[in-house]
Every structure is written in structure tokens, then in C-alpha cells.
Structure 1
Amino acid sequence: MRVGLVLAAGQSRRFGAEDKLLAPLHGRPLCSHAFETVASLDLDRRFACVRTDAVAERAQAAGLEVLRVEGQPQQSDSLRRGLKAAQDCGATQVLVTLADMPFVPASHMADLFDMAGHDAAASSFDRQRLPPAVFSASRFAELLALTGDQGAGRVIQALPEPQILTLPAQAFLDIDTAADLERVDREAKPPKTTLK
């Protein structure tokens, strides 16, 4: 069973008072891009870990099931919440992606599933390893034991090179501030959200 998990419970402290995930990008909230891409994949279940009602509404509008993460969660808290839900429904592979990475193509995510096999596969850009990543059930216990704000970063860093897939240049966008988002909205073009 293949499951998709979008982590969308961050607090966006560097973005300012506004919720970064709801800020407009090409006419839609930033988070909606990732939600819609995951919704387009051939998966058995699709979850979004969220902290606010407004982001939950966007996830549901895209067809994702909402998992609430209370308080002021770190990345590992969201990851554990999502992995437990995936584990409970019998997942054999879980895609983990971030709601603030709007331009990762569906084809890249699909390729990660094939590359992961019975272990794991992750993405890279300019020598930096990062999500999206796919983890098989054999990795769940290791991921559930993680703590802190790095999420699955330590696991991704330890993967062998053949299990790393390079992201297209336009897919890697670091949106931390309102200025970053304005620049991206002007310059970058969104990819197709489906595999068709």
C-alpha cells in the first residue's frame, strides 16, 4: 500500500505574521500546490499533517485526509503523526513531502517510489539532500524514533547515492520569507500537477 504524506504544520517563523502556507502563489495558496500534486498520484491514501483550520480546509479541498498536529510542533512531531497513521492503515511505502515545496513535479515523486523499493529514496539539489522522500515499512521504526526539528534529515543523509534522485532546478525553491515568495511568484512557472 502506497501512502502520501504532506507535512503542513510548520510555524513559518521567518515569514512574518502571515501564514506562509496560505500566501498566494500563482493565484492559489502556497500549500495547495503540494496538496494537489500529491492528490494526482496513484496512491492508496493521502494525508496532510496540519496545525490550522485554514490549511486543513485547503488539504480537504484537494482530496487529502487531514491529520491534526497540536501545539507548536517540530518537523519530527508532524512526521511521527503521519507515519503512525500510515502504519495503522497498512502502508508499505510512504512518500514524505513538504507543503512549502510547491513545484516538485508528480513525475519526480512517482520515480521515488520506484527507486525506494524495500528501503528508501530521497531527493537532492546542488549536493543538498532533502524531501520529497519515500520510505518503506522497514524504515518506519527508525523514523518514529526521531526527535527535533530536522524530521527525516538524518535518515536521508545516510542513504547511499544510488537511492538519491536529483530534483529539476525549477523544483527547488527555498521560500522562507515574503520576499522569497514574491520573487518566485514573478519568476517561476508552476509545473503540471499530474502525470498525464
Structure 2
Amino acid sequence: MLIADGSKLSCIVLAAGRSKRMGSNNKLLLPFHGKELILHTIEKIIGQDFFEIVIVTGWQSHELEKILMNYPVKLINHPGYLEGQSTSLKKGLSVISEKTLGAFFVLGDQPMVQEETIKRLIAGFLQKPSFLTAPYYKDKRGNPVIIPRQFFSWLNQLQGDQGARDLFLREEIINKIHVHDPGVVEDIDTPEDYEKLKTKQNILRG
């Protein structure tokens, strides 16, 4: 999806992991509110002001592609996903447009992140486009995050299961967006996390 007059931000959704702590289930395909968990993330993203949306798949890529093929996204299969998170980050960076000002990194297993939070992060980045942009809930940094283009070379030096955590230790270059959104610090890694999520689903319904 290309928006000619858009924010010139590329969105990269990380959806390649093995979900080891979830057992035999791919957490992104688990049901939540009547559809697969990852769709809650994708459907909040596609209406935003992104230059393009790239989804990096790996484990059970065919199953993920089946449910995502009708969405306006670019699906990139990463066969080397077992080599660590850094390889998925770099795979996403390798396919985005050279015109992009930065990468909006989204974790596929955070269905409770609010759409308003996504909008605020984009707006915050556009005000300070040379800064890392991240949401903070009760002073705890969460996801999604935005990384400007000038840091791409740093990301491309990562190895194995390294992520961008060390980069975000440099508080002097972080644009902190304080949000009332616990979804930014909640992800679904274990069966217990999923049961807690379903409990929230029942509360929302009630």
C-alpha cells in the first residue's frame, strides 16, 4: 500500500517467530474476538498513514499468508527466521522503499494496542523525525516503536536474537509518547498470557 502524500513511514510487522513458549500453537493464529489474533493488529494498521506495510512471516508462513492475502500489505517470507529476531528485522528493512523516513516496527502478538496509540506515535515521529519514537505506559517502554532511517545501518549490524533494545537505552534520542494504553506492554507469549487475554475478551463482552 503506497500513499503518495502519506507520512513516508514504512510499517514492518514482525510475524515470523516460532512461538516456542506457546507450545504447538502459533499464537498469531489463535482465535480472539472471532478472528485470528494477528488480524486485530493488521486491521488497526491498514487504515493509518503508512507509505507501505510489510509483514515478515516465517513459521507457518503459508497459514499466515492465507488469512492475510486479501489485505493491502506486502508479505515477505523469511526462511531464516530461526536464526533470531535480528534477521527478521533486517529482512523487513531489506524490502522497504528507499524513500521511507523510518520504520514503524509492530509485533504481531499485541492485539490490545489501541488505534489511537498508533496515531499518536506517527504524529510524534513527524514532529521529531530524527528521534526514536516509543510509547510509555506508566513509565515502562512498550511497542510499537519507530526507528528513523539514520539508524538502519545500526540495525543491520545486529546478530542472532538481538533486537533494538540497546538502541532504546539512549534516552537522549527518544521521543517518549506517554499513553493510557496497557496494550503497548502486553504481548502473548505463553498459554497463560492467552488465557489472560481471553479473560479480558469476556470482560469487554460483558
- With the length of structure 2 as denominator, give the TM-score of the two structures: 0.82
- Counterpart of 1:105 in structure 2 is 114
Checking the alignment, whether the CA contact within 8 Å between 1:48 and 1:59 is kept in structure 2 is no
Aligned to 1:84: 94
Deviation at 1:127, TM superposition (A): 3.8
Shift of 1:92: 1.1
**What is the Cα deviation at residue 45 of structure 1?**
0.6
Q: Indicate if the aligned counterparts of 2:132 and 2:173 stay in contact, CA closer than 8 A.
A: no
Residue of structure 2 equivalent to 1:155: 167
**Letter of the structure 2 residue corresponding to residue 14 of structure 1:** R
Larger Rg: 2
- C-alpha RMSD of matched pairs (Å): 2.3
Aligned amino acid, residue 94 of structure 1:
A
Q: Is the 2:12–2:103 contact (alpha carbons within 8 Å) kept by the matching residues of 1?
A: yes
1:108-127 paired onto structure 2 within 5 Å = 108-116=117-125, 117-127=129-139
Match of 1:140 in 2: 152
Identity %: 25
Kept in 2: contact 1:130–1:153 (CA 8 A): no
Tell me the SS of whatever aligns to 2:143: strand
- Note the residue ranges of structure 1 that are not aligned, 5 or more in a row: 192-196
> 5+ residue gaps in structure 2?
1-7
The aligned amino acid for 1:81 is: K
Normalised by the length of structure 1, the TM-score is 0.86
Q: Which letter maps to 1:10?
A: G
Kept in 2: contact 1:31–1:58 (CA 8 A):
no
